[in-house]
Chains A and B, each alone.
Chain A
Amino acid sequence: MSLIIQQPGNSVVTDLGRFRGPRFGLPVNGALDQFSARAANILAGNGDNAPLLEVTALDFRMQATTDLLIAVTGAPLHLTVGGRECQQWEPVSVRAGETVALRRIDGGLRAYVAVHGSVDAPVLLGSCAPDTVVGFGLRLAEGTELKTNRSVPPIRQPYYDLPLFRLGLTRPEFHSTAVVEVTDGPDVEEFGDTASLLYNTEYTVSGRSNHIGLRLGGALPERQTTAEVLSRGVPVGAIEVPSRDELLVLHRGRGVTAGYPVLAVVTSRSLDVLAQARPGHKITFRKTSVPEATAKHRAALRELEALRSTVGTVFSLLGIGNQPGWQQPVPAAGT
C-alpha cells in the first residue's frame, strides 16, 4: 500500500510540530497552517497530529497504488482525482492506480493532503516535521514512495451528481489583504511611540519569506534603546525589527533564541493566516489581548471537534476505519 510521487513541486511530510525541540535548541517546525492541517487529518479520519503532506505554492501530483481515502485542505486550488474534479475540505475516495493532482494553488500558499491511516515517516524527538538546519525530514521527490497504512474501498455515490460528503466546516477565507491579530510583545516599550506604526501601516509580504519567518516591507517601528540584549527564547509569532529594511515575523521554523527586542506577538489563529500569505500580499495588524486570542483559538478547536464528531458518525455508517481506537488522536509530541 503506497503513494508514488509523480510531481513533487515543493512538498514535505510533516505533522503539527516538534514540541520537545525548543528545549534542545530545535525549532518546533511542523505544518505552518495548523488549522488546515488538523482539518485535513480529521476529514481523513486520522488523529490531528498524524503525518501528512504539506504542499507549498507549486503544482503536485501523486499516484495511489491502492484504494485510499484522502482529504485536501489549505489554500484554494484545483483538485482532480483520476481526472475527476473533486472538492477540498471533504473526504475523497481515490482508486488504486488513480492520480491525485493539486494544481493552481491560488489565494493562499500551502495545501495539506491527509491520507486515511496516514503515511510512514521518520521521527526525531517525537515528530516527523522536517528541520532544514539539522537536515532532518522527508522532502518529497519524483518517484518517492510513501507507505500508506490503510486501504479504503471506493465509496460509491448512489445519486449521480450529489457531493459525497457535506460536512459543513466553515472554511477559512483567503484574501490578498489580510488582517493579522497580535498582542503587545514583552519589549514593546523599547519602541516608544513608534510602536503604533505597526497598527497604522499596510505591509507587503516580501519574496524572501519562508517557514522561518515572513519579511514585511512598510513603515518600521524603531527601537529607542541601545542596550545589548542577551540571547533569550523567542516565541513563534514574535515580531522583530532586525534591520532598517523590513519587519521580521517569526514562524514555526524560527531559531529558538535571539537577541532582538520583541515588539508584538502574532496570535496562534493569525499564524495560520500568515502561513497562507503570498509574496506581494498586503498585511495589516490589529491589536488584541491574550484572553481574546485564546478564546478565538479555542473556538477554532471546538469547530474542529464538531467536525471530528460528524466525520466519526459518517465514517462509522460507511464502515470506514472503525477499528478499535481509530479515533484516538495521536498524542501531541512530547506529551
Chain B
Amino acid sequence: MAATPAQPPVEVFESGDAALRVVASSPDREANWATVHALAAWLDAAGADGVHGAVPTYDSLLVEFDPGVTSARQVRAFVLLGLRQLEFTGVPAREPREFSVPVVYGGEYGPDLVRVAEQQQLTVEEIIQLHTTKSYVIRCLGAPAGSPMMDGPDFPFPVPRLKDPRLSVPAGAVSVAGRQAVIAPAAAPGGWCVIGQTPLTVLDAASEPLVPYVPGDTLRFHQIQPEDFAQYAGRKLEAAR
C-alpha cells in the first residue's frame, strides 16, 4: 500500500502462521529504532484480540499472534493502522531513566579483558576508560532473559566473538562483541568477550517485569575494585533517576 510521506516506511514480512516481521526501512538508523519501539508500545497498549505481543530490536519488530483468533492478514492491517496512528500522535515522549552499574574489570571477573585490549591495540586502562566514559542507550531486550542490548563503547575496531563460546557465563557478566555491549541478567552460554562483572542483581524472577530497565533507558558503568564486590553483592540494579 502507498505510504503517506510522513508515515515511517516499513516492510512487513510473513514469519509463519503466528508471527509477522515488521522492518523499518528509512535510511535513518535512530528513526528506525524509534519507529519499531513506538509501534511495539502502541500494539501492547492497544491489546488487540489474539495479539500476544511485540518484540522490538534495532530496526525490526516481531509481532506474535494466536492464529486461532486472528490471522497474519488482520495483524498486518492492524500494524499499518498503528503506523498511521503514530503519524498523528507522534512517538510518545518518555523520560528515560538512568542506571549506574558498578563493575569489577579483568581478572577472574573479566577473563577476556586482556585479549580485548590486545586486539584493540590499547592498554587495559584505556579499554576500561572507553567502557566507562560512554552513556549507553538500551536499544532492546535480548536473549537470555531480558539482557540490555546496547551500542558498544567507542573502540577502534569491532570485537570478534570467542571461537569457542563458553558453556556458562555467570549472571552479571559485562561483555562486548562486534559494536555491541551487554550485561548478562542470568547465567547462560555465551560467545561474547567478558571484560568484567557487576555484583548487582539484574534479574529478579519474583518481580514483574523481571528486569528494571526498558529500551530507551540509559546506563553507565563505573569501575570498582575486587575487594568492593562483596559490598554490592545481592543489591538490585535500580534506576539512579
- B197 interfacial contact with A, CB 8 Å: no
Q: A198 an interface residue at 8 Å Cβ cutoff? A: no
Given contact pairs A124-B205, A135-B205, A257-B143, A267 touches B68 in the complex (Cβ within 8 A): no
User: B211 in the interface, Cβ–Cβ < 8 Å?
Assistant: yes
CB distance from A313 to the nearest CB of B (A): 23
Taking the closest CB of chain A, its distance from the CB of B13, in whole angstroms, is 4
Cα distance A232–B44 in the bound complex, in angstroms: 18
Tell me the bound Cα distance from A133 to B210 in angstroms: 13
Contact (Cβ within 8 A) B55 A257: yes
B66: interface (CB < 8 Å): yes
Q: How many whole Å from A93's CB to the nearest CB in chain B?
A: 31
B contact residues around A20 at 8 Å (CB): 52-53
Contact (Cβ within 8 A) A233 B57: yes
Is A233 within 8 A of B68, CB to CB? no
Cα–Cα distance between A124 and B158 once the two chains are bound (Å): 37
List residues 7-33 of chain A with CB under 8 A from any CB of chain B: 19-20, 22-28
How far, in Å, is A185 (CB) from chain B's closest CB? 7
**B103 contacts the other chain (Cβ, under 8 Å)?**
no
Q: Can you name the residue of chain A whose Cβ is closest to the Cβ of B18?
A: A268
A 286-307 to B, binary, CB cutoff 8 A, 1 in contact else 0: 0000110110011001000000
Q: Which residues does chain B contribute within 8 Å of A124, judged by CB atoms?
A: 205
List of B residues within 8 angstroms of A113 by Cβ: none
Interface stretch of the complex, out of A58-66, A155-163, A214-222, A234-242: A234-242
Q: Assess whether A266 is interfacial by the CB under 8 Å rule.
A: yes
A231-B16 contact, Cβ under 8 Å, with A125-B208, A256-B55? no
- Complex Cα gap A230–B61 (Å): 12
Question: Is A317 close to B, CB under 8 A?
Answer: no
CB distance from B202 to the nearest CB of A (A): 11
B142 at the interface (CB under 8 A from A): yes
Q: Give the CA-CA distance A94 to B127 in the complex, in Å.
A: 65
Indicate whether B146 reaches chain A with its CB closer than 8 angstroms. yes
Q: Which residue of A lies closest to B14 (CB)?
A: A290
B14 to chain A, nearest CB (A): 5
- A262's contact among B15, B50, B52, B72, by CB below 8 Å, is which? B15
The residue that A230 contacts in the complex, of B59, B71, B205, with Cβ under 8 A, is B59
Q: Give chain A residues whose Cβ lies under 8 Å from the Cβ of B67.
A: 268, 293-294, 297-298
- A133-B144, A231-B58, A235-B16 in contact; A301/B68 too (CB < 8 A)? yes
Contacts of B143 in A (CB 8 A): 25, 27, 133, 255-258
CB-nearest residue of chain A relative to B40?
A23
B90 at the binding interface (Cβ < 8 Å)? no
| A134 in contact with B203 (CB, 8 Å) | yes
Contacts of A184 in B (CB 8 A): 14
Q: Which of B154-192 touch A at CB < 8 Å? A: 178, 186, 188
List A contacts of B203 (CB < 8 A). Answer: 134
User: Is A332 an interface residue when CB atoms closer than 8 A count as contact?
Assistant: yes
**Majority-rule SS of A interface residues:** loop
Q: Are A232 and B58 in contact (CB under 8 A)?
A: yes
B149: nearest chain-A partner, CB-CB = A231
Q: In the complex, what residues of B have CB within 8 A of residue A228's CB?
A: 178
Cβ < 8 Å to B, chain A residues 244-282: 255-258, 262, 265-268
Check: B140 CB closer than 8 A to any chain A CB.
yes
Q: Is the CB of B71 within 8 A of A334?
A: no
The minimal Cβ–Cβ distance linking A204 to chain B, given in whole angstroms, is: 23
For B62, what are the chain A residues with a Cβ–Cβ distance below 8 Å? 22, 232-235, 256
Contact partners of B147 in chain A: CB under 8 A:
25
Kindly state the separation between the CA atoms of A185 and B149 in the bound complex, as whole angstroms: 25
B53, closest chain A residue (CB): A23
Q: Mark B114-151, 1 if CB is under 8 A from A, else 0.
A: 00000000000000000000000000111111110100
- How far, in angstroms, from A12 to B73 measured CA to CA in the complex? 36
Closest residue of chain B to A22 (Cβ to Cβ) is B55
Name the contact of A290 in the complex, choosing from B16, B64, B141, B142 (C-beta under 8 A). B16
B35 within 8 A of A: no
| Contact flag A256-B142 (CB < 8 Å), given A124-B205, A233-B57 | yes
B59-99: which residues lie under 8 A (CB-CB) from chain A? 59-62, 64, 66-68, 71-72
| Nearest opposing residue in chain B for A182, CB measure | B16
Known: A25-B143, A185-B15, A237-B16. A230 touches B211 (CB 8 A): no
Residues of chain A lying within 8 A (CB to CB) of residue B142: 25, 231, 255-257
Q: Which A residue's beta carbon lies closest to that of B146? A: A25
Are B55 and A233 neighbours in the complex by a CB distance under 8 Å?
yes
Chain A, range 193-211, C-beta contacts under 8 Å to B: none
A23-B55, A24-B210, A233-B62 are known contacts; what are 20 more A-B pairs with Cβ within 8 Å?
A: A23-B141, A27-B143, A28-B52, A183-B14, A183-B16, A184-B14, A228-B178, A231-B142, A233-B56, A235-B15, A235-B19, A236-B18, A238-B15, A256-B141, A262-B15, A297-B68, A298-B67, A298-B68, A301-B68, A334-B53
Q: List 14 A-B contacts (CB under 8 A).
A: A19-B52, A22-B62, A23-B44, A25-B210, A134-B205, A136-B205, A184-B14, A236-B19, A238-B16, A262-B15, A265-B17, A267-B16, A268-B18, A293-B67
